[in-house]
């Protein structure tokens, strides 16, 4: 199948971007969050659609997302579109440049999904929590370290009373 055989949204991509995207989905180191980015950017339906809400709440998943954006840097400027899927994405996108810079600094130039950096992972989770805190549709409980304990949609919480 060539780019010309694909549905309209895909046929507008450059061959180079399309080739990189197909290579990544076929052979890349994927997790649910990086796959969510891929499906959104490629405008390819995701089974059930709910999976796009999966944001990277672990360092290995965040690293996979950064690796995907390194492979397809054209998507980096569109990353803010992921905010529409959940408050977790919104919180991460607000701090993405800072978190990515910290990741790169800790990896010393070579990104590795096996990096162990508890402080950075906690910052990723704090960014997610802040996204829920900032969303008026959610009632949030935080852990003492500022990470998310739980978040309830406010209308669901009202029904539980």
pLDDT at 28: 75
Mean pLDDT of 9-33: 78
pLDDT at 4: 39
**pLDDT 10s digits, 103-144:** 999 988 788 888 889 999 999 999 999 999 999 999 999 999
**pLDDT 10s digits, 68-91:** 999 999 999 999 999 999 999 999
Q: Which long-range contacts (CB under 8 A, 24 or more apart) does 109-117 make?
A: 111/63, 111/66, 111/67, 111/70, 112/63, 113/29, 113/60, 113/63, 113/64, 113/67, 114/60, 115/59, 115/60, 115/63, 116/59, 117/59
Please, what is the average pLDDT of the chain?
86
Q: Is the pLDDT of residue 55 over 80?
A: yes
pLDDT at 154: 87
Q: Is the pLDDT of residue 49 over 70?
A: no
Q: Is the pLDDT of residue 7 over 80?
A: no
pLDDT at 123: 97
pLDDT at 155: 81
């Amino acid at each position: 199948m060539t780019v010309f055989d694909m549905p309209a949204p895909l046929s507008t991509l450059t061959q180079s971007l399309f080739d990189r995207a197909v290579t990544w989905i076929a052979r890349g180191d994927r997790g649910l969050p990086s796959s969510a980015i891929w499906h959104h950017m490629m405008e390819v339906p995701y089974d059930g659609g709910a999976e796009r809400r999966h944001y990277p709440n672990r360092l290995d998943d965040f690293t996979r997302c950064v690796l995907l954006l390194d492979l397809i840097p054209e998507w980096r400027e569109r990353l803010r579109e992921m905010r529409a899927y959940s408050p977790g994405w919104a919180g991460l996108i607000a701090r993405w440049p800072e978190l990515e810079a910290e990741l790169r600094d800790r990896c010393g130039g070579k990104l590795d999904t096996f990096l162990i950096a508890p402080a950075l992972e906690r910052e990723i989770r704090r960014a997610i929590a802040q996204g829920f805190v900032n969303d008026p549709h959610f009632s949030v409980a935080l852990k003492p370290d500022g990470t998310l304990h739980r978040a309830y949609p406010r209308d669901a919480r009202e029904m539980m009373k």
